[in-house]
Amino acid sequence: MWLLQAMLEEIRGNYKSLYSRIGVVGFVALIDTSMISPVVASYARSVGADAATAGLVAGIYSAIAIPMISLSGLISDRIGRKRLLAAGLAGDLIAMLSYALAASPLHLLLTRMLHAVCDSLIIPPALALLGDVFRVRVAGPLSIFWIFVAAAIVAGSGSASALVSAYGFWSVFAVVAALLLVSLISLRGLPSPTQRSGLKQPITHLLRRHWARIASSMTSILGMYLLIGAVVGSLPSMLIDRYGFTEPSAAAQIGIFIALSTAISIPVFPIAARVSARRTPLIPIYAGLTATITTALIMEYALGQVAGLFAAAALFSVALGSIIFSSSYLAVTLPAGVRGLGSGLNQSASLMGVALGAPLSATYVQASGHQGVFIVFGVLPAAAVLVFLAIVRGLLTRAAEAAEDV
């Protein structure tokens, strides 16, 4: 406990500054992806890529980020959080310059790969750093981090197309580069807690001891993100074929759904934080999985009406805020020696949900039609996770106990 007391003394009276720096890192961690992903395929076409190459440029990011984000968490447990954070932010800054100078599809593809690698070095060490600094008091700072992330998703997805229309693609890269520079500067004000060597234990021992907590963190967020993948992969075709939407209108519904549910989720994060800290993170996870199931049922049977879309988005906001916070809370309250890896695995699971849900749901629709697609990719995975959590509940330690390094 000596380390916790020393850190609290160091930052006493300076919480506002520390929270703002945490918020900046959280915002920048997602603003680049949320701004660049909607326009990168169009940018690829503008530098001479055909449709297939443009799709490869857009999709290569996830293929690289899924394994890299877990690896970055493991590395942060070994070399330190701030060092990896600085490398990721600096690498992203270089990637923005490379995006702006891209003159061929190959150049853009290599830049996209660099962006994926460097982006993967940001969120796991940032989450783990929160756990290192705040330990048993991490719930509040963690909710602030995710609120800024949610704000970045809403702001980024809504502004990218407008910037491109008004000023060209370079403006997106310039805005992101400026924000990355601010975030790099803000790192100087974050503490760099160290762990006494006597407290370290082999990673294999820590994984065996805390496997249920790590698995619960991963499966809960995977169960929710599979539904997001199904929305991306099959919602437009369902709206066109079943409800008579035009193609542009159907495509726009994805952005509306994601932006609306993310915006509404912002007040859910502090609620989930309070419940997780005072009771158990399982309660918000149960609520989020129940909201996921209900959202999937609405999307399956009542999406043809505008009210159905808004009801689904409102309910899904509960799932987003509850599960994103609580699943990451399970990870950041792991012992320090496995905290980064746990955070990386948690974030990999979210990427995997979309990477699997989108193509598999599209394949399902092509083979079997739209009937039951949101049951298969929304109701069943969330229900399976609820069953899993009921089985391992006795093995899960409460957040206050798990926050103590062993």
Rg, Å, the chain Cα set: 21
- The helix or strand, by DSSP H or E, that contains position 198, with its residue range, turns out to be none
CA distance 341 to 70: 6
CB-hemisphere CA count at 13 Å for 235?
Answer: 29
Q: Contact at 8 Å (CB) between 124 and 79?
A: no
Backbone angles phi, psi at 310, to 5 degrees: -70, -40
pLDDT of 5 reads 41
Q: Please tell me the predicted confidence (pLDDT) of residue 9.
A: 39
Residue 138: phi, psi to the nearest 5?
-75, -20
189 φ/ψ sector (left φ>0, alpha ψ -120 to 50, else beta): alpha
Question: From CA 152, how far away is CA 262, in angstroms rounded?
Answer: 10
235 Cβ neighbours under 8 A, 6+ residues apart: 250, 253, 254, 257, 299, 303
How confident is the model at residue 15, as a pLDDT?
54
**Residues 330, 401 contacting (CB under 8 angstroms):** no
For residue 81, report the phi and psi dihedrals to the nearest 5 degrees: -75, -50
Q: What is the pLDDT of residues 112-171, one digit of tens each?
A: 999 999 999 999 999 998 888 887 788 988 999 999 999 888 888 778 878 888 888 899
CA–CA–CA angle 224, 225, 231 (5° rounding): 105
With a cut of 70, which residues of the chain have pLDDT below it?
1-19, 193-201, 304, 306, 397-406
Predicted local confidence at residue 400, as pLDDT: 40
Distance between start and end Cα atoms, the chain: 11
Identify residue 50 by its one-letter amino acid code: D
> Which domains, and CATH codes, for the chain?
14-187 (1.20.1250.20), 203-396 (1.20.1250.20)
Instruction: Identify the pLDDT of residue 95.
Output: 95
* C-beta separation of 230 from 374 below 8 A: yes
The secondary structure of residue 188, as a DSSP letter, is G
